[in-house]
Amino acid sequence: MSKEIKVKIDKEKCKSCGFCVLYCAKGILFTGKKNNAKGFFYIEFDDKLNKCNSCAICALMCPEAAIEVFKEDKK
Amino acid sequence: MKPVYLKPESLKDVVTSYCPGCGHGLVHRLIAEVIDELKVREKTIGIAPVGCAVYAYDYFNFDVAEAPHGRPPAVATAIKRCLPDRIVFTYQGDGDLASIGTNEIIHAANRGENITVIFINNANYGMTGGQMAPTTLPGMRTTTTQKGRDSKLHGFPLRVSELLATLEGTVYIERVSLIDPANVIKTKKAIKKAFSNQLTGTGFSFVEVLSPCPVNWGLKPLEALKFVKDQMIPYFKLGILKDKTEEMKKEKGA
């Protein structure tokens, strides 16, 4: 299990367009129930099963550059 | 943890004024990534248009000049001629480039100025509330064409890329879209080529991006992507319309 978060979403920048949710192949991004200062229900990342392979398609599709993606170091 | 994707340095850490699902944010990000990759941030000058992207100077982390409606190609020409070592690009919407500044863009292209033009085609005037633009599709509803654009009354949508491709002075013209990750990658490639052409002094490069405008189209962001795919792409065909890059490079080398 990874201890650190692989996909960091800047919740204040997120405008809930859902492009990342649509194109995430693993289906681990979803629109949350909390809203940010602008009133958008920001996207949340939940990877309990460690499905994320850091493909960064979510970051590629993000119009707000709100997503940063990290990968585990090889041991 | 090793970073796979980080926010580009050429983009400021601010919240943009764009609507959710707007293509402007994506194109801004791609331009910033390309400028970072080419390592030309310190000598880049952008020209912001009048339209939704009017605040581009607040979002880009390099010099940006503002030009009156439709005049970025003229301003870019002046900057490029005075400071030939800089990378000058204009960022224009369809109201700005295809309607108000048609004259400017045609002559800048015909002169073959060594600049890069990024043209955002969202088929309406976004900032002012979604009025009909020259690129509005036949039958498309806007605030000024309530019953849909009538070709007999309002004419036909203007294909700017095809128009410019007929001019001698242009070197590289491509039309791209943002409908899925594959097309976003293609868009980035096209933007990178347009900027590289300027670095090598090849000449006028033009990239038209079909961009979603969900709020003014009255659609949700994901439906807007579908609208681009189903309605816009059949009229505005994607692909490279003109590429004289290699010829021009040979000519320069000879």
ipTM for the complex shown: 0.92
Residue A40 domain-assigned (yes or no): yes
- For residue B236, the model assigns a pLDDT of 95
Q: Min CA distance, A8 vs chain B (Å)? A: 10
Q: Which domain holds residue A14?
A: 7-67
Quick one: three-class SS letters along B180-248?
CHHHHHHHHHHHHHHHHHHHCCCCEEEEEEECCCHHHHCCCHHHHHHHHHHHHHHHCCCEEEEECHHHH
B20 touches chain A (CB under 8 A): yes
* Cβ contact B21–A56 (<8 Å): no
Two tokens, residue A19: 């492009």
B68 touches chain A (CB under 8 A): no
Residue B172, CB-side half-sphere exposure with 13 Å CA sphere: 27
Fill in the DSSP letter of residue B13: S
Cβ–Cβ under 8 Å, residues B80 and B86: yes
- Facing B6 at nearest CB: one of A6, A16, A68: A68
Residue A73 domain-assigned (yes or no): no
For residue A1, pLDDT beyond 50: no
Fill in the DSSP letter of residue A72: P
* Cβ contact B184–A67 (<8 Å): no
- State which fold the B23-253 domain adopts: Rossmann fold (3.40.50)
Burial class of residue A57 in the structure, from the number of CB atoms within 10 Å of its CB (0-12 exposed, 13-18 middle, 19+ buried) = buried
Cα dihedral: A56, A59, A60, A61 (round 10)? 130
Q: What size, in residues, is chain A?
A: 75
- For residue A3, the model assigns a pLDDT of 63
Residue A61 domain-assigned (yes or no): yes
- Facing B181 at nearest CB: one of A17, A23, A54: A23
Question: How is chain B split into domains, by residue range?
Answer: 23-253
Residue A26 domain-assigned (yes or no): yes
Q: What is the pTM of this model?
A: 0.94
What confidence tens digit (pLDDT) does each residue in A8-32 have? 999 999 999 999 999 999 999 999 9
Conformation bin of residue A12: beta by default, left when phi > 0, alpha when psi is -120 to 50: alpha
Residue A1 domain-assigned (yes or no): no
- Mean pLDDT (10-residue bins), chain B, 254 residues: 91 93 94 95 94 92 94 96 95 92 94 94 92 94 92 93 94 95 95 94 94 94 94 94 88 75
Alpha carbons B123 and B136: distance in angstroms, whole number: 4
Cα dihedral: A5, A7, A13, A14 (round 10)? -110
Cβ–Cβ under 8 Å, residues B231 and B74: no
- For residue B254, the model assigns a pLDDT of 63
How many distinct structural domains can be found in chain A?
Answer: 1
Residue A75 domain-assigned (yes or no): no
Residue A53 domain-assigned (yes or no): yes
* A contacts of B6 (beta carbons < 8 Å): 68
CATH number of the domain at A56, please. 3.30.70.20
- For residue B247, the model assigns a pLDDT of 87
For residue A2, pLDDT beyond 80: no
Residue A36 domain-assigned (yes or no): yes
Alpha carbons B114 and B80: distance in angstroms, whole number: 7
